[in-house]
Chains A and B, each alone.
Chain A
Amino acid sequence: GAVVSQHPSWVICKSGTSVKIECRSLDFQATTMFWYRQFPKQSLMLMATSNEGSKATYEQGVEKDKFLINHASLTLSTLTVTSAHPEDSSFYICSARFGMNYGYTFGSGTRLTVV
């Protein structure tokens, strides 16, 4: 089945630094990937839709200059949290769609802690 690999699984960084999270589709080409964040005991919140070769589409309220998304190839999308602050600490999850009428497959998530 379609597999999405997400790295790292957890990261701790200092305030003011930037962190990059990678999302790879291992056995299929993903023209579209999605980035979510999830706070404790809450549901997943869609941050942005990432299309290969074009700019990402951000959901309302998500700062595009803070959460940089790059989808340079059909198998890789990255999310960079720039100038991280403690309030950016969250669980970040990527997803990719495989085929028009099939489901979406998700990465295992990245737990970011900003200290």
Chain B
Amino acid sequence: DAKTTQPPSMDCAEGRAANLPCNHSTISGNEYVYWYRQIHSQGPQYIIHGLKNNETNEMASLIITEDRKSSTLILPHATLRDTAVYYCIVRIQGAQKLVFGQGTRLTINP
């Protein structure tokens, strides 16, 4: 699976949009981009995933660049409960396992 690079930490003000970048420059055509988050001492929570088109759900939006070498997770109106570690993961279509990188620790400030 392609390696991902994320900033180790970010801060965002409550009510503002949180934009979390992820670099996956070695991604191949059949690899999906997944985003999960982990709130302290809990299991990871699925946020969103995509292949090449931008995706949106009730939690977030996923913007994938045209060359697919990077993506951005957008939390449109961050709340204090969005404070967590966010993981960007690339997985080959059909592959079983999900391998986590170091993630970005996002802190939402009041």
Contact = CB atoms under 8 A, between A and B. Distances in A.
Contacts of B43: 4, 6, 93, 95, 106-109
Interface residues of A, number: 24
A104 B94 contact: no
Among A34, A36, A103, residue most surrounded by chain B Cβ atoms (within 10 Å) = A103
B103 A43 contact: yes
A44 B41 contact: no
A60 interface: no
B103 A101 contact: no
B98 A43 contact: no
Interface in B21-50: 32, 34, 36, 38, 41-46, 49
A57 B32 CA distance: 23
Nearest to B103: A43
A113 B56 CA distance: 40
A7 B93 CA distance: 30
B96 A93 contact: no
Contact of B45 (A6, A97, A106): A106
B49 A103 contact: yes
A36 B36 CA distance: 15
Interface residues of B, number: 22
Is the contact region of chain A dominated by helix, strand, or loop, or is it mixed? strand
A4 B43 CA distance: 10
Nearest to B38: A44
A100 B49 CA distance: 13
Contacts of B99: 46
A95 B94 CA distance: 17
Interface of A: 4, 6, 32, 34, 36, 43-46, 49, 91, 93, 95, 97, 100-101, 103-109, 111
Q: Which 5 A-B pairs have the closest CB atoms?
A: A106-B43, A103-B46, A44-B100, A43-B100, A106-B44
6 contacts: A44-B38, A45-B100, A103-B49, A104-B46, A107-B43, A108-B43
